[in-house]
């Protein structure tokens, strides 16, 4: 994970102290070096009140500017949707992560206007995610109800991937 992506997760409360230290070690092994990074890797029992300020200092040393929660959400969404499109994670898993780890963190600040997630352009992704969830738990599905559930779910995943591509195209 790139430092800016990690910073976005940190701002959204989705990066814990142990993960910060693990990332610091990974970055050091990949040739990144700063004073704060060195301090971070020596934290054997990290607590967020210690590691958090060190991580923020690291971001400053890397010239990564402060992010708003909205900017952090967009970075996190872009990372996850890119991983879906590149087939690094299952569409359902990635979209669920966006729903629970990103959307739920900023929903109060950027509430839906008409459809769930529409304030971030996620309404179609969440539409297909809900269809996948409904398909899996036996609830009524609105689309492809003439197909067996496993085939319908496959169609929903295809639509979700297409919407991920659309979102990424618009985000450029």
Instruction: Encode pLDDT of 139-148 as tens digits.
Output: 888 888 999 9
Residues 6+ apart with CB under 8 A from 109: 69, 70
Q: Rounded mean pLDDT of 98-121?
A: 89
pLDDT in tens, 30-77: 988 888 888 888 888 889 998 999 999 999 999 999 999 999 999 999
- Give me the chain's average pLDDT, please: 92
Q: Which residue bears the tokens 């496993």? A: 150
Q: What per-residue confidence (pLDDT) applies to 172?
A: 74
How far CA 172 is from CA of 74, 148, 169, in Å, comes to 11, 37, 6
A 10 A CB-CB count for 151 gives 12
A 10 A CB-CB count for 55 gives 25
**Can you give the pTM of this predicted structure?**
0.88
Q: What per-residue confidence (pLDDT) applies to 169?
A: 93
Is there a contact between 60 and 54 (Cβ–Cβ < 8 Å)?
Answer: no
**pLDDT tier for residue 118 given thresholds of 50, 70 and 90:** confident
| Closest of 77, 167, 172, 80 to residue 121, by C-alpha | 167
Is there a contact between 34 and 62 (Cβ–Cβ < 8 Å)?
Answer: yes
């Amino acid at each position: 994970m790139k430092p800016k992506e990690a910073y976005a997760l940190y701002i959204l409360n989705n990066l814990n102290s142990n993960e910060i230290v693990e990332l610091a070690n990974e970055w050091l092994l990949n040739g990144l070096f700063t004073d704060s990074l060195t301090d971070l890797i020596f934290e054997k029992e990290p607590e967020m009140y210690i590691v958090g300020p060190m991580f923020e200092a690291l971001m400053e040393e890397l010239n990564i500017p402060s992010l708003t929660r909205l900017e952090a959400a967009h970075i996190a969404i872009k990372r996850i949707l890119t991983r879906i499109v590149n087939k690094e994670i299952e569409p359902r898993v990635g979209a669920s992560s966006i729903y629970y780890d990103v959307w739920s963190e900023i929903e109060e600040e950027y509430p839906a206007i008409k459809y769930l997630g529409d304030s971030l352009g996620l309404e179609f992704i969440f539409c297909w995610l809900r269809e996948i969830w409904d398909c899996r738990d036996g609830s009524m599905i609105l689309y492809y109800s003439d197909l067996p559930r496993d085939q319908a779910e496959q169609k929903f995943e295809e639509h979700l991937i297409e919407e991920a591509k659309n979102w990424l195209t618009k985000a450029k």
